Structure 1
């Protein structure tokens, strides 16, 4: 196999691949072995006719198409490796000539990863959102744990908001019970607003054993049979329970943690909360740095790379919906969105993701970051220690797939450590930063919605026509390739 490389426009290349007659012969023989069971030749049992007999009966080119399927993928892979190409799209094949003696000549057009010219990546200005964990933050976290470990105890008093009550109820409209309006020993937390307006409020004040009729009005947006109607619910109160929180003492700390005292428990909580806050701050800085670097690169990015990223985003969404028992097509129909709409929603973010990935790869190459085995093992030890596990236990917990990408993870950490060390860091209050980012995101969202709402239909049609024109421009080439393959098939 030999291959000649020709560079086309837009980071597209053409490989002219020549497969020898001997290689083509091997492909024909493989095709014969796969297909011989399908041929029924007079004088031979089905599948037992020699290859020469089959070729005489059906024509010498009978196995050519399947032979091409055998040899082309391997020849293409070898050509890509020989020319050290970083391919980002599927190849478009075109068979130029086929000869049993001279072999096969074909072309493969494919997009390759673009050359990236980095802009500024040192001395960048970034903001570090700093959060210092205070005693009140620790107390709030402890209080959450208290709530989770609370128990409900029965009390002999009138029910109030926050209590859990056990009730029977029977609802009726104009004296006639309606479907779904009856329940026995229904548990209800007063004040959560799980029932229609006015229901829970009128139960407040009832005691165990008390009966009461309450009047409510169904919301206009309720089911058609009940929307906007007045109803009466006959309530029977069985039980009133209040939440009892555990005492904040050393016994509580021992019950919910591995520590003997409440002071030790709180100290550990503060340490972990600070670690999480520091990690969040680091991630924020890394995102700022990578966004700035990606926006400053120069690269002729093929559309196919962005389309591939959109494909990935759509696939991930499809998987998430599948776990919830819903198909993507049904979900899109439910929210009134087409697949094109969804892909356009992902387009801007996907383009940014591609730029970031290209920037990272260019930086890793520029800075010659390549973690050693020692670096990798040191990281394993650090993470295993944080989980109170041995290195092997930690690796077993990670799984084979995560282990495969662990070197990349270490490389990324080394890269960002370098970038942060070279950046001009300004510390800001974390809460103020979060508020600023939330307002910024809100404005961006409103801007997009306004743009959609004010978009003129003619402009949309023009864009659609433009897109269709681009598609139409691509179709003749596809037909040409298909026509050549069909000609080959009939040869």
Structure 2
């Protein structure tokens, strides 16, 4: 078999194969004979149909199958002999100029993996985020938990901020009702921005049974285009006013949060532990992102387009599935454009290649203890952590996710040990995304 290997632009390569027809014909004849022995042809006993008839029925498919198998086998034999690292699937094209009747020529075009050399990290400046969970953060979290358990009790007074009101309303623009402008027994909490400010201001101060006409101007960028920039008059009738009542932080409240004996101090410790776990996770994600940015900054190479295309396809499929999981009708979903994902897909592929090289070079593979530590960390949130750890550690396939996290942690540690690191203390709100970081 004659072989020609060409280096094309960038990572692209081309192999031209010249396969002897003699071997292909012999393989076809053998497969035809095998097919004849088991072929069921009307009018003949099994295996007794004439070879020409079997050839007429199955020959075309057999020739295609044999030819494809021969091409793929020959291609990967060359790849192995030449020590080529193929990225993605090759594209096979029959050579137009078949100038030798004894051979079949075909081109295989493909990309190879790039040579990845991680650059000098010592000059890279990396901000390492740190934060602490104090009693103030515990208090804030407990207030949120109290708010989630708010009860509303009916009151006979004018509505004020933080009250839940139930209202009927009917809106008109230039005296004409419009779609979505009316409702009955509509509940909302005053002061939380659920309604337009002028609307809420009109409700505030009304008692149960009272009505009022309120003029409301819709913003120019209002999501309802048919009313954006217009002014409507709403007739509002209050049906119910209820005052918010938060639970006391006591034994009963602690029991609601899973503290069996109702010990408030234990509850605070448990809240602090859970909040610290989430804060640590988010800080670790920020630090990982900073490390990945540093690795990308010092490592330049061409990225195989085939791998980016594959990753883009996976991301498109994941996005579509997320919409379906949220209740969208799969048949109604539009085709998402690939260019929405290309940039992120390229980053993922590039980082994957960098991490693979770095882990191999620096021997950063995680140990069983590393994996167990990762499992133990998130097992703490379960009722029986030991059972969770045993479940993961008892199966190699289940360990793949924790192993990947353990590998990333070792990479982060390695890079932070090489780069110029500046500690940056973040507030609780910055870490949790409540304010701009």
TM-score interval, normalised by the smaller of the two chains: 0.7 to 0.9
Rounded Cα–Cα distance in structure 1 between residues aligned with 2:388 and 2:204? 57
Given that residues 318 and 328 in structure 1 are in contact (C-alpha distance below 8 angstroms), is that contact kept between their aligned partners in structure 2? Answer: no
SS at match of 1:187: strand
Is 1:163 aligned with 2:159?
Answer: no
**Residues 1:417 and 2:416 are matched in the alignment:** no
Distance in 1, matches of 2:141 and 2:429, equals 22
**Which residue is equivalent to 1:228?**
230
**Counterparts of 1:82-481 in structure 2 under 5 Å?**
84-95=83-94, 106-121=106-121, 124-171=124-171, 182-195=182-195, 198-208=198-208, 210-217=209-216, 219=218, 224=226, 228=230, 230-233=232-235, 235=237, 237-258=238-259, 260-324=262-326, 325=328, 339=337, 343=339, 346-373=341-368, 375-377=370-372, 379-381=374-376, 383-384=378-379, 387=382, 388-390=384-386, 395=391, 403-431=399-427
Using the TM superposition, name which of 138-147 and 194-203 deviates more: 194-203
Partner Cα separation in structure 1 for residue 45 and residue 400 of structure 2: 51
SS of alignment partner, residue 266 of structure 1: helix
Q: Tell me the SS of whatever aligns to 2:87.
A: coil
- Which secondary structure does the structure 1 equivalent of 2:88 belong to? coil
Q: 1:313 to 1:200 in 2, by over 3 A?
A: same
**TM-score of the two chains, using structure 1 as the length reference:** 0.68
How far has the Cα of 1:352 moved from its partner? Answer: 3.4
- Contact residue 4 and residue 17 of structure 1 kept, 8 A: yes
Alpha carbons 2:259, 2:266 under 8 Å: kept: no
In structure 1, the gaps of 5 or more residues are 333-337, 442-491
Query: What's the CA shift string for 1:100-157, capped at 9, x where partnerless?
Result: x988664422111011122113574422222122222211111000001121111122
Please, what is the CA RMSD of the aligned residues? 4.8
Match of 2:5 in 1: 6
Q: 1:427 to 1:254 in 2, by over 3 A?
A: same
Q: What's the CA shift for 1:181?
A: 5.1
Q: Using the TM superposition, name which of 393-402 and 118-127 deviates more.
A: 393-402
User: Could you tell which deviates more after superposition, 104-113 or 77-86?
Assistant: 77-86
What is the deviation of 1:269? 2.4
Bigger drift between 151-160 and 125-134 goes to 125-134
Q: Which runs of 5+ in 2 are unaligned?
A: none
Q: Which has the higher helix share?
A: 1
Distance verdict in 2 for CA 1:147–1:438, change over 3 Å: closer
Q: SS of the residue aligned with 1:278?
A: helix
2-side partners of 1:78 and 1:306: how far apart? 26
How far did residue 161 of structure 1 move?
A: 1.9
Q: CA contact under 8 A between 1:120 and 1:293: conserved in structure 2?
A: no
> Deviation of residue 362 (structure 1)?
1.5
C-alpha separation in 2, matches of 1:17 and 1:118:
36
- The 3-state SS of whatever aligns with 1:282 is helix
TM-score (norm: length of structure 2): 0.76
Question: Is the CA contact (8 Å cut-off) linking 1:11 and 1:302 kept in structure 2?
Answer: yes
Distance, in Å, in 2 between the alignment partners of 1:40 and 1:418 is 68
Equivalent-residue separation in structure 2 for 1:7 and 1:173 (angstroms): 72
> Take 1:402 and 1:24, find their aligned partners in 2: how far apart are those partners?
48
Change (3 A) 1:18 1:53: same
User: Which residue number in structure 2 is paired with residue 449 of structure 1?
Assistant: none
Contact 2:118–2:299 (8 Å) recurs in 1: yes
Query: How far has the Cα of 1:391 moved from its partner?
Result: 5.1
Q: Which moved more, 1:258-267 or 1:360-369?
A: 258-267
Decide whether the 8 Å contact of 1:380 with 1:391 is kept in 2.
no
- Asked if 1 retains the 8 angstrom alpha-carbon contact of 2:35 and 2:54, the reply is no
Instruction: Judge conservation of contact 1:16–1:105 (CA < 8 Å) in 2.
Output: yes
For residues 374 and 25 of structure 2, what CA distance do their matches in structure 1 show? 50
Structure 2 vs 1, CA of residues 406 and 199 (structure 1 numbering), >3 Å: closer, same or farther?
A: closer
Verify the 8 A CA contact 1:130 1:428 in the aligned structure 2. Answer: yes
Q: Deviations over 1:180-230 (max 9, x none)?
A: 55543332322344445533322222223x232323245376564897355
Alignment check: 8 A CA contact 2:3 2:17 kept: yes
